[in-house]
Amino acid sequence: MRFRLGLTGSIGMGKSQTAAFFAEAGCPVWDADAAVHRLYGAGGAAVGPIAAAFPAAVTDGAVSREALRGIIAADPGALARIEAIVHPLVREDRARFAECHPGAIGVFDIPLLYETGSEAEFDAVACVTVPGEIQRERVLARGTMSEADLDRILARQMPTAEKCARADFVITTDTLDHARAQVQDVLKEIERRTDA
């Protein structure tokens, strides 16, 4: 892969839409959440090791995310054990993806990029952001979680200001046109760097 761009940002910041703009511009995009779904699905590489560690988490040959959430809620040490199983498998999946796109500017959509210490694996990192009130509005409008759920998620994530300070590029997703224009600017800068 010619250039590896890590794409990160907290929940409700517009990361998926930004990834779609990179794909629209011709970049292959690897999605960490989709990779975990593959690993947890029937026949996925995580099913056996998770079943060995947490037999109740596997139903019909696939890992149940709902069961995992229950296990994590009941056992504070469970999350670290699950991550120790899943993170290396996710890294392998990511490496295979990169090998399949040798000349490309690849985009790696990773919500917890900084939290998992993965930033060193990329040539640059772009962080998506919007003001906190817009983030909260977007997430709660989905109707899938309460304010308390959102607060719990945010408490586990690095603050957005810190992510933005560490990133090479910051993309503000206040409007679709503004986000798309910034994606184009990021790609121009990457082209400039790789041509130099």
Domains and CATH numbers, the chain: 1-28+104-196 (3.40.50.300), 33-100 (no CATH)
Q: Once rounded to an integer, what is the mean pLDDT over residues 127-139?
A: 94
b/e map of 109-140 (b: 16 or more CB within 10 Å)?
A: bbbbbbeeebbebbbbbbbbbbeeeebbeebe
Identify the residue with better confidence: 28 or 155: 28
pTM of the full structure: 0.90
Q: Is 13 labelled as part of a ligand binding site? A: yes
Q: CA 149, CA 87: separation in Å to the nearest integer?
A: 23
The sign of the torsion formed by the CA atoms of 177, 179, 182, 184 equals negative
Q: CA 132, CA 112: separation in Å to the nearest integer?
A: 18
Residue 146's alpha-carbon distances to 9, 126, 151, 155, in angstroms, are: 20, 28, 9, 14
Side-chain half-sphere CA neighbours of 140 within 13 A: 11
Would the pLDDT of 161 be above 90? yes
Would the pLDDT of 73 be above 90? no
Q: Is 103 labelled as part of a ligand binding site? A: no
Would the pLDDT of 25 be above 80? yes
Side-chain half-sphere CA neighbours of 102 within 13 A: 0
Would the pLDDT of 76 be above 90? no
Q: Is 106 labelled as part of a ligand binding site? A: no
pLDDT band at 152 (very low <50, low <70, confident <90, very high): confident
Closest CA to 113 of 173, 162, 186, 66: 162
Q: CA 60, CA 42: separation in Å to the nearest integer?
A: 8
The sign of the torsion formed by the CA atoms of 36, 41, 46, 50 equals positive
pLDDT band at 28 (very low <50, low <70, confident <90, very high): very high
Q: Is 188 labelled as part of a ligand binding site? A: no
- pLDDT score, position 196: 66
Q: Is 14 labelled as part of a ligand binding site? A: yes
What percent of the chain stands above pLDDT 70?
99
